[in-house]
Structure 1
């Protein structure tokens, strides 16, 4: 099985510590993190994904805004060379311990964070990465 993720959520998952927009959002995100930790692969999608799902029932979720689409574009551009594969809809990525470590190192160094510009969660992500990703839900990949 695979988990659908939009490109910028490949960054968000690195610093997820159980905070979010609502209790339903956090519960759903916890489930995604558990599935990733269990070894499920990621299927890159355009637009809303497994993380966005709880927000889609709201009147006008931000998931469809141009700013979020631009964030996905920047994340895909930053991550493609790091992961050695073009990050585009339909790409499948198997996350393992080594890949996660490389992504975390690049995130902490700021080399894959152009998508984070203007994000309301950026300060939290700075703190999590600055603390060695302590408390991040995605710690142990098989």
Structure 2
């Protein structure tokens, strides 16, 4: 199977430690992190994705707001520059250990954090990154034996 992700969730996954908007949201996110840790592929989408799914039944899900779409655009630009490849809906990615290390290093130094401005989770994510990503749910993909995380 393939995990459907919007662009800014490529960044959110880097620091996810099991905190979220609701128990259903967190349980779903845990499952996605586990699947990615087993090297499941990613399909980038425009708009709500598999992480958003538990929130879509709310009266006014923030996943549908303009702010989420703006974060997607900013994240896509940053990740595109970092990876030197096109990042937009319809693109498939394999988040291997090398890419994960590269993205976490860039996140730690602020190179791919433009989309994080004004996000309610930004402080927590910054603390997790500054601490070396302890207890993050996304682990090195299966088969990556020599990675430092």
TM norm structure 1: 0.98
SS at match of 1:90: coil
Offset of residue 140 of structure 1 = 2.0
C-alpha distance in 1 between matches for 2:138 and 2:131: 14
Offset of residue 16 of structure 1 = 0.2
C-alpha distance in 2 between matches for 1:46 and 1:14: 20
Q: Aligned-pair RMSD on alpha carbons? A: 0.6
Partner residue of 2:85?
A: 85
Partner residue of 2:30?
A: 30
Offset of residue 84 of structure 1 = 2.3
Aligned residues: 142
Partner residue of 1:8?
A: 8
Partner residue of 1:123?
A: 123
**Structure 2 residue ranges without an equivalent (≥5):** 143-149
C-alpha distance in 2 between matches for 1:140 and 1:79: 19
Deviations 1:87-123 (A, max 9, x none): 1000001011110000000000000000000000000
Deviations 1:47-97 (A, max 9, x none): 000000000011110001111100000000000121221110000010111
**1:103 corresponds to 2:94:** no
Partner residue of 1:138?
A: 138
**Structure 1 residue ranges without an equivalent (≥5):** none
Partner residue of 1:64?
A: 64
C-alpha distance in 1 between matches for 2:59 and 2:83: 35
C-alpha distance in 1 between matches for 2:140 and 2:79: 21
TM norm structure 2: 0.94
Partner residue of 1:19?
A: 19
C-alpha distance in 1 between matches for 2:45 and 2:87: 9
